[in-house]
Amino acid sequence: MRALIAPDSFGDTLTAVQAAEAIATGWARARPDDELVCAPLSDGGPGFVDVLATRLGRLITTTVPGPLGDPVDARWLIDDTGDAVTAYIECAQACGLHLVGPRSPRTAFAASTRGVGDLICAAVAAGASRIIVGLGGSASTDGGAGLVDALAGPGVSDPRTAVDRLAGVELVAASDVDNPLLGPAGAAAVFGPQKGADPDMVAVLEDRMTVWNDTLTALAGGDIAGEAGAGAAGGLGAALIALGARRVSGAAVIATAIGLGDLVVHADLLITGEGKFDHQTLQGKVVSAVATAARGDLPTVVFAGQVILTEAELVGAGIAQAHAIVDIADSVAHAMDDAGPLLARLAEQVGLAWKRE
């Protein structure tokens, strides 16, 4: 049997690459004669670049300001094998929440996207004519102001200079987040608390982005705050759209790059997973995309840190089985601290049971 192992990252505990390796390790212990094909996935958030690097291009490391200004070594990818020189940038490499440390209202306010702008500048300098920016996992809620400042250049107050910097470059925003920039479903209200903002700071961030939206409106030639995806990565999506980016599905970018469709055609079983398998997953996230790719023709097994769906919901999503790490761990803390070995053990248990089906 050929099993295609295509998980997303497991939150902050395992990258998609690590999760795929753990599942493969456990499954191989149970079923050593199976052919295992690992194809880790991402929706544009953390792991976007590392997942792509398993299949194409070459990695480049550039030192840029992190979300709080400290230098970080950010990886990005350049691929010159197609019809254009394409750079893949992951915003979390430069302004990721994992780079902040303890979260607080102060860090939620201070976190900047300037480093992402510097990565785009590096890609332009390297000759990229297409730049795809994966959005997700950011610590920032600055509406992309830091990015625009970095593109405009030192001491330049006119943000239209940022547009000039990107002349002749196709800009793409890769995200599966549909939130607008402002309002109760916007970047500050929905994602601010995850980044350390208390209710008072959420209001401050909302007010700051409302003012900043006037600049973005001038850049875009119209108000783009309500566009789907404008609120992605703390409003970074809005800045990219204002600079001329078209928005695409991050999961679709990965699926195309790794040839997911061809891999599915030749598989007998699909295995996927993520940190929490819940109702948000069914709204087009990676696991849902994998199940959709199977089109009901192949059994799909999900591994997750936690599974919060009913049996009926699993059936409706085309999932044959779903298994949670917390079910074999001593506690949620244990499940997170020892996620890799536990995931391998869980995969082994499921693989052994699969023999009897």
pLDDT tens column, 274-283:
888 876 665 5
Domains of the chain (ranges plus CATH)?
A: 2-41+259-354 (3.40.50.10350), 48-248 (3.90.1510.10)
Q: How many CB atoms lie within 10 A of CB 107?
A: 20
Place of tokens 């779903």: 322
Per-residue pLDDT at 42: 87
Given a cut of 80, is residue 297 above it in pLDDT?
no
Task: State how far the Cα of 17 lies from the Cα of 75, in Å rounded to an integer.
Answer: 15
Given a cut of 60, is residue 267 above it in pLDDT?
yes
Of 6-15, 195-204, 244-253, 285-294, the one with minimum mean pLDDT is 285-294
Task: State how far the Cα of 9 lies from the Cα of 286, in Å rounded to an integer.
Answer: 10
pLDDT tens column, 66-80:
999 999 999 999 999
Whether 141 contacts 237, CB under 8 Å: no
> Which candidate, 149, 58, 86, places its Cα nearest to that of 112?
149
Segment 295-311 mean pLDDT: 83
Residue type, 193: P
pLDDT tens column, 125-178:
999 999 999 999 999 999 999 999 999 988 777 889 999 999 999 999 999 889
Residue type, 69: G
> What's the pTM value of the predicted model, to 2 decimals?
0.87
Q: What is the residue-averaged pLDDT of the chain?
A: 91
pLDDT tens column, 8-60:
888 878 999 999 999 999 999 999 999 999 999 888 888 899 999 988 899 99
Given a cut of 70, is residue 356 above it in pLDDT?
no
Per-residue pLDDT at 280: 65
Residues whose CB falls within 8 Å of the CB of residue 222, separated by 6 or more in sequence, listed in order: none
pLDDT tens column, 221-257:
999 999 999 999 999 999 999 999 999 988 888 888 8
Segment 195-203 mean pLDDT: 98
